[in-house]
Amino acid sequence: MNSLTDTTIDLDTELIRRDFPILSRQASSGAPLIYLDNGATTQRPETVIEAMSACYRQYYANVHRGIHTLSEESTSAFENARESIARLIGANTSEIVFAAGTTAAINTVARSWGDSHLAAGDTILLTIAEHHANIVPWQQLAERTGCRIVFLPVDETGQIDDEIVQQYLQQWSPKLFAFTAVSNVLGTEFPVARWVRLARQAGATVLVDAAQAVPHQVVDVGDWDADFVVFSGHKVCGPTGIGILYGKSAVLEAMPPFLGGGAMIRTVSTSGYVAGEVPQKFEAGTPPIVEAIGLAAAARYVGEIGLARIDRHEKRLVRRALDGLATIDGVRVFGPPADRRGGIVSFVVDAMHPHDVSQWLDIRGIAVRAGHHCAMPLHERLGVPATCRASFYLYNTEAEVDAFVNAVGEVRRRADRPSRRASARQGS
């Protein structure tokens, strides 16, 4: 694995790509695979695959329950995984709660903190750029409690000025401000630390959806100072079925448990129960043991490569993609300039549905995402039902970006041919 200590050195993508066996395969068309769907999920390096396989092959057992050798070894690896993930984001191990993913983590906050803190007349502030995972749980909370949801608008470049945020905070005095660190559609990098400070001045609790941030840039939850930060394992080279809920210790301590059952209790009797300590009181049932071990291996992998280097690499790729797409007539790109976005480019091609564009690119071996990307309110704001999205990661290359741009150019030229033939017939 690539492990350079000088964070100013560019990534050696050729070396990194050797760590990902899936990248050597071909698409169904026979073309070499160019995987540009990292916003949906990333691929796994050998170290993650091996770590999970080793657990299943050598020491797998349930954790925290047994005193036999396998259980003790599994418990040690599981809790060591919590430490690795805490280091990745600058947290304490007691502040790391394992969940099934970002969605489950947000639902835990909505059900535990939300049900006990919000009531009719209270306000939740979101941005219109949120993933459905950071909208629907709050809508369900509003249905239960009678609180209301207010959305911050994005401007024409997909950004939100601090002045607008401050205005909404002052006008609505929200109990909760929940927002994404990086838009999964626009790629917009929102100023988390600044917005948290503004929210603090307004007396709001803050949740940050960092699913598109933690895998791609340096994240320090201490610097952000948010009450909650959530992200998914499968977007950071880890397995599916696991995510992280970070919460400030004092906040987690004051929250009631959400799911009930085994592992989250201290004692149970016929008359009631006493919840366990944080974080176990939020981890009912058998936890994602092997997934946690895999996620820890992923955290170590990206940490050794260097998230600052990954961030610079992606910004170079996205700038190259934006520059290339800008030369193609009939292609509309959404979002801010390259220096204000992560490695995400969403676009539409005139006279073609995004699904058709995606399918045509797949014939060329290029995997992109097409649809509303679980962000229907944002697409309504953009005035389109769907977009194509290319999203980059540490193993993508400039040559792949060029191939993608060239393929989009071909798509656009193909879309234009019928209208040209129709014009020729009309002219005759």
Each residue of 381-395: pLDDT tens digit? Answer: 999 999 999 999 999
Distances (CA, A) of 245 to 74, 86, 226: 21, 11, 12
Each residue of 150-201: pLDDT tens digit? Answer: 999 999 999 999 999 999 999 999 999 999 999 999 999 999 999 999 999 9
- State how far the Cα of 319 lies from the Cα of 97, in Å rounded to an integer: 36
Average pLDDT, the chain: 94
pLDDT band at 202 (very low <50, low <70, confident <90, very high): very high
- State how far the Cα of 386 lies from the Cα of 96, in Å rounded to an integer: 35
- 254 has pLDDT over 50: yes
231 DSSP β-pair partners: 244
- 5 has pLDDT over 60: no
Q: Is 387 exposed, middle or buried (0-12, 13-18, 19+ CB in 10 A)?
A: buried
Each residue of 208-231: pLDDT tens digit? Answer: 999 999 999 999 999 999 999 999
- Residue 339 token pair: 């220096």
- State how far the Cα of 357 lies from the Cα of 256, in Å rounded to an integer: 48
Q: How far apart are the first and last CA of the chain?
A: 63
- 257 has pLDDT over 70: yes
- State how far the Cα of 21 lies from the Cα of 395, in Å rounded to an integer: 12
- 7 has pLDDT over 80: no
64: left (phi > 0), else alpha (psi -120 to 50), else beta? left
pLDDT band at 296 (very low <50, low <70, confident <90, very high): very high
Distances (CA, A) of 253 to 224, 247, 258: 20, 9, 13
Active site residue 374: yes
- Domain extents in the chain: 13-32+306-427, 48-303
Backbone angles phi, psi at 59, to 5 degrees: -150, 20
Contact 145, 115 (CB under 8 A): yes
- 263 has pLDDT over 80: yes
Contact 343, 317 (CB under 8 A): yes
Mean pLDDT to the nearest integer, 229-255: 98
Contact 244, 231 (CB under 8 A): yes
- The least confident of 265-269, 281-285, 291-295, 417-421 is 417-421
Each residue of 396-410: pLDDT tens digit? Answer: 999 999 999 999 999
CATH class of domain segment(s) 48-303: alpha beta
Do the strands 176-180 and 123-127 form a parallel or antiparallel pair, or are they unpaired?
A: parallel
- Residue 95 token pair: 């502040």
DSSP alpha helices (H): ranges in 234-288?
249-254
Q: Looking at residue 416, what is its pLDDT?
A: 76
Contact 155, 147 (CB under 8 A): no
168 DSSP β-pair partners: none
- Number of alpha carbons in the 13 Å side-chain half-sphere of residue 408: 31
Whether pTM > 0.85 for this model: the answer is yes
- 422 has pLDDT over 60: no
- State how far the Cα of 385 lies from the Cα of 391, in Å rounded to an integer: 19
Catalytic-role residue among 55, 147, 237, 374: 374
Q: Looking at residue 77, what is its pLDDT?
A: 98
List, as one string, the DSSP characters of 56-100.
IIII---SSS--SHHHHHHHHHHHHHHHHHHHHHT--GGGEEEES
Mean pLDDT to the nearest integer, 4-30: 86
The residue count of the chain comes to: 428
- Residue 325 token pair: 């797409």
- State how far the Cα of 224 lies from the Cα of 34, in Å rounded to an integer: 34
Q: Looking at residue 415, what is its pLDDT?
A: 81
- Number of alpha carbons in the 13 Å side-chain half-sphere of residue 97: 34
- 419 has pLDDT over 80: no
DSSP 154: P
> What's the one-letter identity of residue 255?
M
- State how far the Cα of 28 lies from the Cα of 80, in Å rounded to an integer: 40
Which position has the higher pLDDT, 7 or 243? Answer: 243
pLDDT band at 113 (very low <50, low <70, confident <90, very high): very high
Percent of the chain exceeding pLDDT 90 equals: 93
pLDDT band at 6 (very low <50, low <70, confident <90, very high): low
Q: Looking at residue 157, what is its pLDDT?
A: 96
Each residue of 307-357: pLDDT tens digit? Answer: 999 999 999 999 999 999 999 999 999 999 999 999 999 999 999 999 999
Q: Name the one residue in this structure whose structure tokens are 């009797």.
A: 269
CATH class of domain segment(s) 13-32+306-427: alpha beta
